Amino acid sequence: MARETSRWRSAALQILKVGVSVGLLAWLFRQVDAGRLWAAVKSASWLWLAVAALLYFAMLLVSSWRWNTLLRAQGIVVRLRTLIGSFLVATFFNNFLPSNIGGDVVRITDTAKAAGSKTLATTVVLIDRGLGLLGLALMAATGASLMQRMAVGPVGPAMLWAGFGLGAIVATPALLMPEKVGRLLQPLRVFHQEWVDARIEKLTDTLTRFKETPAALAGCFAGAVVVQGILVGFYVAIARSMNIPIGFAELAVIVPVSFIVQMVPVSVNGFGVREATFGFYFTRLGLPLESALLVSFVGAALIMLFSLTGGVAYLRRSML
């Protein structure tokens, strides 16, 4: 009965997400000329689109380096080439599955054997994720503070800085006082004492090693900020390809905020929500809604096209 209820809830949530995405996209498309959108896409500069693709690949390389830095801090040696391939496959799963959890599962599975522990591999990926979110929040908050004229609406500098501060407050004690994390998790022992104790011990050991290697954490966080900068550059190149007059400073606000908004699980892979966010800021800069939809959709299309290489890598892996 409980399983049946859970299945219905999951189905209802997916229907809700589809409804939100379709509803927002329909509302946006009613306000623009679809013919002009398609004409702008067809006339886009292939050179600038190639630059965007190269920037996205550079982002993947930096992301893989960050992951490798954290793994080596734990004494786990995996070839960077292997991690890049795993990241490609994870990107494919993130873009073609309803949520990005699938991509994290790929990364954990691919490093669990070298780590000798799925708990250790999971902790490394979660730390990587957490530092990535801090880098995203820092980029968004800094951009919004520098571009006050765009800080209009529900997500302003104060809220973004508060989010960054809250993340730092949560992360710092966990990394500086790992034994406290172990104590906080003690109540979970009521479910399965021996199994939970083993996981808590492994988690505490992992966090202790990170505490002893602050350079790895600092490098990973710096890499996270670089990743966000590259992604902003990715969208700048897309805008340039269609002669849309928007620069790095403006997109340094719009892109991170759009990523943050997409984390709210109310749409299918951010579709609709992302376009609405771009439209909200573009129109406040005096740009037409068509420009926002063009940059958002072409960016999403390039990312999905690029991630197909991860699908090819996954198929090749399956055939071996």
- Lowest mean per-residue pLDDT among 76-80, 190-194, 203-207: 190-194
Residue 115 φ/ψ, nearest 5 degrees: -75, -25
pLDDT above 70 as % of the chain: 93
| Residues making up the chain, counted from first to last | 320
Residue 1: per-residue pLDDT: 53
Give the pLDDT confidence of 57-88 residue by residue, as tens digits: 999 999 999 999 999 999 999 999 999 999 99
Q: Give the pLDDT score at 84.
A: 93
Residue 230, pLDDT score: 95
Spatial distance between the Cα atoms of 108 and 102, rounded to a whole number of angstroms: 10
Highest-pLDDT range among 117-126, 190-199, 221-230: 221-230
- Residues 219-247: pLDDT tens digits? 999 999 999 999 999 999 999 999 999 98
Name 90's Cβ contacts closer than 8 Å, sequence gap at least 6. 102, 103, 104, 106, 107, 310
Q: Which residue has the higher pLDDT, 34 or 85?
A: 85
User: How many C-beta atoms lie closer than 10 Å to residue 169's C-beta?
Assistant: 9
Residue ranges per structural domain of the chain: 34-319
Judged on CB neighbours under 10 Å (0-12, 13-18, 19+), 77 is: exposed
Most distant pair of Cα atoms in the chain: their distance? 63
Q: Which residues fall within 8 angstroms of residue 4, CB to CB, at 6 or more apart?
A: none
pTM, two decimal places: 0.88
How does DSSP classify residue 97?
S
Arithmetic mean of pLDDT, 279-298: 90
